[in-house]
Amino acid sequence: MTGLERLPGGLVDRNRCIAFTFDGHPYLGFPGDTLASALLANGVRMVGRSFKYHRPRGVFSAGSEEPNALVQLRRGAYREPNTRATVAELFDGLDATSQNYCGSLRFDLLAVNDLLASFLGAGFYYKTFMWPQALWERLYEPVIRASAGPGRLSGDTDPDVYDRGYLHCDLLVIGSGPAGLAAALVAGRSGARTILVDEDFVMGGRLHAETHEIDGQPGGAWAGSVVAELGALENVRLLSRTTVIGAYDHGIYGAVERKTDHLPDSKGKPRQILWRVHSRRAILCAGAIERPIAFGANDRPGVMLAGAVRTYANRYAVAPGKRVGVFTNNDDGWRTAVDLAAKGVEIAAVIDTREMAPPVDVTSVEVRMGGRITTTWGRKGLKAITLATGEKIAMDCLAVSGGWNPAVHLTCHQRGRPIWRDDIAAFVPGTGLPVGMAVAGSVNGSLSCGAALREGHDAASAIMQDLGIGLAKDALPAASDESVAVMPFWRVTESRGRAWVDLQNDVTVKDIQQAHHEGYRSVELLKRYTTLGMATDQGKTANVVALAILAEHGGRSIGDIGTTIFRPPYTPVSIAVFAGRSRGKAFRPTRLTPSHVWAEGRGGTFVEASGWLRARWYPVSGETHWRQSVDREVRLTRSGVGICDVSTLGKIDIQGEDSGTFLNKVYANGFAKLPVGRVRYGLMLREDGFVYDDGTTARLGKTHFVMTTTTANDGLVFRNLEFARQCLWPGLDVHLASATEQWAQFSVAGPRSRDLLAKIVDPPFDLANDAFPLMACGTVTVCGGAPGRLFRISFSGELGYEIAVPSRYGVSFMAALMTAGEDFDAVPYGVEALGVMRLEKGHVAGNELNGQSTAKMLNLERMISRKKDCIGNVLSQRPAMNRQDGLAMMGFRPLDRSVELTAGAHFLAMDAEDRMAADEGYMTSVAHSPELGYSIGLGFIMRGPERVGETVRAWDAVNGKDIPVEIVPPHFVDPQGNRLRG
Amino acid sequence: MIIPHPLLGPRDASEFVYLGDASLIDRPDPRAADALQQFHDYLYLRDNPAGEHRELWFHEHGDRSWLVVTRNTLTHEITAVELAKKVALERGRDR
Amino acid sequence: MRYSVFRILEQGLTGNRGWKPVWREPDPKPEYDILVIGGGGHGLSTAYYLATVHGQTNVAVLEKGWLGSGNVGRNTTIIRSNYLLPGNQPFYEFSMQLWEGLEQELNFNAMISQRGIINLFHSDAQRDAAVRRGNAMVLSGADAVILDQDVLRKKCPFLDFDNARFPVLGGLWQPRGGTARHDAVAWGYARGADRRGVDILQNCEVIGFDIRNGACHGVATTRGAIRAKKVAVCVAGSSGQVMELAGLRLPIESHVLQAFVSEGLKPVIPGVITYGAGHFYISQSDKGGLVFGGDIDGYNTYAQRGNLPVVENVCEGGMALMPMIGRARLLRMWGGVVDMSMDGSAFIDRTLIDGLFFNGGWCYGGFKATPASGYCYAHLIATGASHPVAAEMRLDRFASGALVDERGAGAQPNLH
């Protein structure tokens, strides 16, 4: 076959050929084909291997429920494993390969598993591979993992682009079969904002697969005209190739639209889009999924679902076999024989499990009422079947129908449980539907075309009324109510061999029986023990058959047993689409400091800090190691003047009559009496009494303060202040605004900082020590009139200032500072030098303020004013937080001054064993001090203050270090603070 | 989830930061004799019902209102949303 | 029935007709010495160790649903002992040691697989914290290795080293960390306890406690009243609801944690990897599914399902860290309700009511604790004293201030 010899009719476009390959062999198909239909048209019957027994498998269904026909599409980084051939649209040059074998698809060495099947039954691996223990990781597991799969990732970065977006509508219609089209038509004509979604690339659902007539025309033609009308309405959005994957809270649905999967090349366009659909109402018209019957060797290529065989014949104009048999327990299965016979396909026999007169008069076709197939023949493709009577009938395709299961999945995503209906022998949506969701058509158990049209129409009409949207006058489309009578029949008890229930995971009737016998009787235990329904199809065709077998075995009803829980997504979705464009450098936004451009121009290196990129150091020519740069920056700052962008510190503007009172409540120490024009260091506690942030707050006016926070806690402090303002003390007159991004702030530090600022700050502002002493602040103008704020505060321990200007001046102001500093050899310094200087000075930073520290641990307990209330005051007094033998922050220096300390080392007494009970604390931060010429550290150690001068070990096993260190006070440089007051 | 903000209308929940039990508004009196016990209960023993829950959400990516949302923890249905400041004033909190 | 390869051969050759039920399905007796409420991993292991270590076999496990339907049935299967604080790390290392050898002890293959766990770090401060943690691990007798970027590139070449928003600087590796087949852990403990006479009562929901004069004398269940000398609650995820029946409030909030599994794929991820700059962790099951998760949704809920923003957040983390997984398909996502405690650590303690014990507050990390939790809980129930490695898991630690706060996040359960 060339793939071009087709049945009459169908939706394929015969005017153009599509060339594609499967396992390297070239084939031809038509636009409108899926890979599965094109392969069937080319006579390719075996397309894959099952997961466990590596049995040959062929196409089983014609939709997203496919368990067998999993292939890999495309090559290289574009490789897409486990793709269902039944939903893969054919395109020019499509390159598909089969998967899950060792050797080749036709000669799979792992097919040996099939011969060993009696030893590989349900849960066999829980009972062996335990001895000897050491062999699990070394032998057993690697062997098991090697057989994992089935598909293989490329291992390369996914080269495609993905998007995410929001859609809003009055009515979301999920599924575009007769019910969905009828519903969308009502809503669309009424003017409601309507979204109609279907996973298929052609809208119309099974109308294209069947031979129904609607309003006197073929169902497919009717669907086409409705879709055309809807497409012309501005208030209707049609989304084909889009799967609604989950129903989330408050009418939000997740939907994935496949934009370029059907094209040879995405050409830079988004491959897929994740839509979050915000709907006022939704109608689920997801249809139903046919289920098979379990009988011996029912897994051979050529055994297919009866409805799928019709789909291939009617929609794709492909006969899946030359001589087709039908095995059914319901009237619907007979349609397969009727439709195929009408297209000239030979019907081998119709075997109906029911003991009754044939429901359809098909002359010239063999009929076996009450017939049961016990086994099948044909190793790599069906050749014949055998009935319980012993009769053998030759056929190369068997269309099986065990009835239809409504696709209730989305109705259960918010813990709704479906209920069993005996009359159709299937679960239908029960209570607990997602709020705003209605169901219509076969998903509601109304399996005929006429009923689907009516329900879709009526559901949408009711919703329009409910939403107060005027109904357009329109007539209900008319169609016949074809017979769908069914008599439950789950498995052929006469079958001696293995009868498959879950085709992909190779779970058989016997496995289910054995699991039940062993005690795994709850449906959830059955699933977990046998892996039933856990494959890529999530048991869409298998689960109900399994429930029936479980029910039969345990003497219970299917309804009592219930289903396992349906979870999103409805069908598997690429991980990448959930991430959209938030990956790579765009994973999270990057914040740039106001002087970033200047720092780049200066050749700075940058480091990530709480979302910001901060200059880390500025290498100059000749420097080959970062330490050289950092040491120079520290030395020049301490000897002259250094400049650092500190804009990343959080800045919160606080105004109002009660601002001082408010600050008294949110800081541990007092602020109400802070004079105007002064700055104070503040310590902030959580309500549980632990320290979580610190910073300085300046009083710019009687009712105006500016608070700084650490870079990391900017947002958190602001949130907490708003909580205090709105929820705890709503009567205070205080208002907050975040000003972090509004001000560019620079530290100007070092003995020449005043001289430098004298050239920047406009006269007549007096910078003299008496006029503007340590902890003073004021409003200034700079560079001839630009607004600025000046604070005399110092993190470095040197005479120092922080000066702020509006952010837009950041780059030019940094340049102005550097120009003004040329006479003093001003140096820009980065966060590493900042860190070294703060450590030399014994200031705490993030490593010490890690949320586990108490004020006592930081030697700051006296800052918690007991005279006033503040957040955290009461609980900071709990006994274990004030132990006299608790941890306290101290300084550390190595006895051997040439040794480099490491942060994260734990402190052990010199003679202590390496045990947790001997743990005395840990090193939080270390740095090389250019001032002292050796490595210094800060850390927490038990009873620190009373142990000054004692030697302990800084024990760092993971870095292979064990360094004797001396405990010293945590202020290494200028402990009296003379420099900063100078 | 969608939170109907009393000032701004329906807003996606991802604009908000969640805090928890709205009784965190009822901060105890630190001068009480058993203040330590009261603060312990206030901070650590919060309501955690399976059903209707009054809880605090902060519109961080919005107008920075703290809201008291009444939401069912079994169904996620939201039945009331109030400005937390209003609730706090009603409960007698002041300065 | 003892399991072995020989048994499989024997059964295979005789049509697999001789397998025996793994546990009995007994009816409740009117009275037991000890009732364990909750037939999840921790409850079943508690019963197992009560029987094996303390000889207590007049014990029933009460499970409202099916055996193992607690969070042992819906977690991401990670086992590790890479904690930081003295109140936690020795406990988790003890648990790790129990995992090692558990299958042989239970004669049940739970596929405990020590393929290693790597916690990545992305900044100097994170590296410092990793070193501090690694050293704490070694101090407790565990294994810890700091990996630098070069080694990591060889071990995990698929990580995005060169286009990352947050650079991957290295990782804290615990070679003994790994995964286990979670359901099998429950089944193995259940089978072990059942064989020693413990009654496992499925579909038996506790609907009330018999509390008189400050002491607990039994429970009311959907299968009738049951008397007992000691009642041990072990229902993480439902702790708030169950303890409310006893009139007790807990320092716990109930939150939903979502988890995810992809379609089956050939092996591509060697062990467990956790992202330090986003909420994402991943491993690959023996069947080939990528098993991953991230942050909790962050609001109180008992609904056992989450929402899309966290799904997106988790997948963003995954794509930022290892963009090769983009074309793998997410197969199933689910949510489990977890006990988020006020400092992020668990409780194994007595309560104010005599004879009533409490085990819970495991946050999103209870699975790895399953053996030690049961062992220490059994120890407490049987002897009346805390096991030394669980001595800090007390309910009164919030009153004393002796918190066990690994993250330093304070009394904010959704941040732990």
Tens-digit pLDDT profile for residues B33-85: 999 999 999 999 999 999 999 999 999 999 999 999 999 999 999 999 999 99
Specify if C5 maps to a domain. Answer: no
Residues C62 and C146 in one domain: no
* CA A372 – CA A495 distance, rounded (Å): 9
Which residue spans of chain A are classified as CATH 3.30.70.1400? 652-738
A538: nearest Cα among A72, A82, A40, A33: A82
Q: What is the DSSP letter of C66?
A: S
A 493-512 residues inside an 8 A Cβ radius of B: none
Residues C186 and C332 in one domain: no
Residues C101 and C191 in one domain: yes
pLDDT computed for residue A1 by the predictor = 59
Specify if B95 maps to a domain. Answer: no
pLDDT computed for residue C242 by the predictor = 97
Contact assignment for A877 to B1 by CB distance below 8 Å? no
Residue A149 pLDDT > 90? no
Spelled out in words, what is the top-level CATH class assigned to the domain A652-738? Answer: alpha beta
By the 8 A CB rule, do A682 and A696 touch?
A: yes
By the 8 A CB rule, do C32 and C59 touch?
A: yes
Closest residue, chain B, to A877 (C-alpha): B36
Specify if B84 maps to a domain. Answer: yes
B 44-83 residues inside an 8 A Cβ radius of C: 44-46, 48-50, 53, 55, 71, 73-76
Contact C413/B at CB under 8 A? yes
Q: Could you tell me how many helices (H) and strands (E) chain B has, helices first?
A: 2, 6
Give Cβ neighbours of residue A343 (< 8 Å, ≥ 6 apart): A7, A8, A9, A313, A314, A319
A569 prior amide bond cis, ω within 30:
yes
Please state the length of chain C: 416
pLDDT (average), residues A582-589: 96
Contact assignment for C300 to B73 by CB distance below 8 Å? yes
* CA A245 – CA A570 distance, rounded (Å): 5
Fill in the amino acid letter for C342.
Answer: M
Give contacts of C114 with chain A, Cβ < 8 Å.
137
What is the tally of structural domains in chain B? 1
pLDDT (average), residues A391-418: 97
Domain harbouring C147, CATH code: 3.30.9.10
Pick from C65, C131, C400: CB nearest A958:
C131
Q: How far is B43 from chain C (nearest CA, A)?
A: 7
Contact assignment for A880 to C401 by CB distance below 8 Å? yes
Its domain, for residue C235, covers 21-81+84-106+182-251+343-415
Residue A351 pLDDT > 80? yes
Domain harbouring C48, CATH code: 3.50.50.60
What is the tally of structural domains in chain C? 2
Report the 10 Å Cβ neighbour count for C207.
Answer: 12
Residues C188 and C337 in one domain: no
pLDDT computed for residue A148 by the predictor = 87
How is residue C213 written in tokens? 């004069």
Q: First-to-last CA distance in chain C?
A: 43
Q: Give me the total of CB pairs closer than 8 Å, taking one residue from chain B and one from chain C.
A: 58
How is residue C59 written in tokens? 């014990």
Predicted confidence (pLDDT) per residue in A825-876, tens digit: 999 999 999 999 999 999 999 999 999 999 999 999 999 988 999 999 999 9
A70 confidence band (pLDDT: 50, 70, 90): very high
Q: In chain B, what is the greatest distance between 2 CA atoms, to the nearest angstrom?
A: 44
Q: Looking at C341, C367, C397, which one is the last position of a domain?
A: C341
How is residue B12 written in tokens? 């996606």
Kindly list the distances between the CA atom of residue A737 and the CA atoms of A610, A717, A718, A744, in Å, as whole numbers in the listed order. 20, 12, 8, 16
Contact assignment for B88 to A726 by CB distance below 8 Å? yes
Q: Looking at C288, C316, C341, which one is the last position of a domain?
A: C341
Q: Helix axis angle, A523-530 relative to A543-554, nearest 10°?
A: 120
ipTM over 0.85? The verdict is: yes
Its domain, for residue B63, covers 2-90
Residues C337 and C347 in one domain: no
How is residue A825 written in tokens? 């050899």
Specify if C7 maps to a domain. Answer: no
Predicted confidence (pLDDT) per residue in C261-272, tens digit: 999 999 999 999
Which residue spans of chain A are classified as CATH 3.30.1360.120? 591-648+742-838
Contact A732/B at CB under 8 A? yes
Among A248, A250, A664, the strongest candidate for a mutation testing the B interface, having the largest count of B CBs within 10 A, is A250
Per-residue burial over A388-417, b = 16 or more CB atoms within 10 Å of its CB, e = otherwise: beeeebebbbbbbbbbbbbbbbbbbbbebb
Structural fold of domain A883-981: Elongation Factor Tu (Ef-tu); domain 3 (2.40.30)
Residues C231 and C359 in one domain: yes
Specify if B29 maps to a domain. Answer: yes
A130 confidence band (pLDDT: 50, 70, 90): confident
Structural element, H or E, at residue A940:
strand A934-942
Homologous superfamily of A161-288+406-466:
FAD/NAD(P)-binding domain (3.50.50.60)
* Beta pairing, strands C117-121 & C170-174: antiparallel
Q: How far is C413 from chain A (nearest CA, A)?
A: 13
Domain harbouring B27, CATH code: 3.30.2270.10
- Radius of gyration, alpha carbons of chain A: 38
Specify if C134 maps to a domain. Answer: yes
How is residue A827 written in tokens? 């140096």
pLDDT computed for residue C314 by the predictor = 98
Q: Among the listed ranges A96-100, A358-362, A394-398, which one has the minimum average pLDDT value?
A: A358-362
Domain A18-115 sits in CATH 3.40.50.720 = no
Give contacts of A864 with chain B, Cβ < 8 Å.
none
A753: nearest Cα among A827, A699, A810, A806: A827
pLDDT (average), residues A139-158: 91
For chain A, what is the mean pLDDT? 96
Specify if C124 maps to a domain. Answer: yes
Would you give per-residue pLDDT tens digits along chain C (416 residues)?
899 999 999 999 998 989 999 999 999 999 999 999 999 999 999 999 999 999 999 999 999 999 999 999 999 999 999 999 999 999 999 999 999 999 999 999 999 999 999 999 999 999 999 999 999 999 999 999 999 999 999 999 999 999 999 999 999 999 999 999 999 999 999 999 999 999 999 999 999 999 999 999 999 999 999 999 999 999 999 999 999 999 999 999 999 999 999 999 999 999 999 999 999 999 999 999 999 999 999 999 999 999 999 999 999 999 999 999 999 999 999 999 999 999 999 999 999 999 999 999 999 999 999 999 999 999 999 999 999 999 999 999 999 999 999 999 999 999 99
Pick from C101, C305, C408: CB nearest A415:
C305
Homologous superfamily of A591-648+742-838:
Probable tRNA modification gtpase trme; domain 1 (3.30.1360.120)
pLDDT computed for residue A257 by the predictor = 98
Specify if B19 maps to a domain. Answer: yes
A713 confidence band (pLDDT: 50, 70, 90): very high
By the 8 A CB rule, do C27 and C224 touch?
A: no
* CA A178 – CA A286 distance, rounded (Å): 10
Residue A970 pLDDT > 80? yes
Residues C348 and C337 in one domain: no
Report the 10 Å Cβ neighbour count for A16.
Answer: 10
